[in-house]
Each structure stands twice: as C-alpha cells, then as structure tokens.
Amino acid sequence: MDARLAETTFEVRVPVPLVRMGFDQHEIQRRLSDWLVLSLFTEGRISSGKAARLLNISRAEFLALLQSHGIAYVNYTADELAEEFAAVEALQVKIGP
C-alpha cells in the first residue's frame, strides 16, 4: 500500500535480552505495531480492512499475517457455523454431486 498514515512517537522500554537476541529498533517497532493491530482485530474493535490500512499492507497480506500467528479470520459461534453448513448442504443439493 502506498498511503502513509500520520505517526506519533512513544518511548518504549525493552528488556536488554531482547536486544541481545538480535532485535533492532525497527524490528521491535514493527512487532509492536503488528501486535497492537492484531490485538484490536481479535477483540473485534477493527475490521480486517482497517487493520491492513493501519499496518500499511494489503488485506490479503493481513490475512496471511493472521495465519502466520495462528489467528482465525473467521470465528463463528456454534449456531453460525451450523447455519453455514446448512447453507452449503442446500447448495450441494441444488447443484448436485
């Protein structure tokens, strides 16, 4: 994505062992941004599109990021999942095997 969002600066204290593990300032900033956006998404506070815009990546890249962190994009309740399966079965009956 090419549009840059306005930014602000915060001071963040990072344990020295993380720096010793090879995490530089840029990597730490990227991981903190990813973590914050992923948290907001999983809490249902932002959409996947908004999350992608906040990270300045495409929606497809955000979905890949979710997958790389083991986070489900779709989180159905039991009732919603049953409705989806029923809809698929109804389509299969209309279309045939």
Six-digit token string for 67: 């997958």
- Condensed to tens digits (0 to 9), the pLDDT of residues 1-54 reads 445 678 888 888 888 888 889 888 888 899 999 999 999 999 999 999 999 999
Decide: 65 and 37 in contact? Cβ < 8 Å.
Answer: no
- Condensed to tens digits (0 to 9), the pLDDT of residues 45-96 reads 999 999 999 999 999 999 999 999 998 887 667 887 788 888 888 887 666 6
Domain chopping of the chain, boundaries: 16-72
The model's pTM: 0.69
| CA contacts within 13 A on the Cβ side of 37 | 23
Q: Give 3-state DSSP helix, strand, coil % of the chain, rounded to 5.
A: 60, 0, 40
User: How many angstroms separate the CA atoms of 85 and 33, rounded?
Assistant: 36
Please report the pLDDT score of residue 3 as a whole number.
52
Please report the pLDDT score of residue 66 as a whole number.
94
User: How many angstroms separate the CA atoms of 64 and 71, rounded?
Assistant: 10
Please report the pLDDT score of residue 2 as a whole number.
44
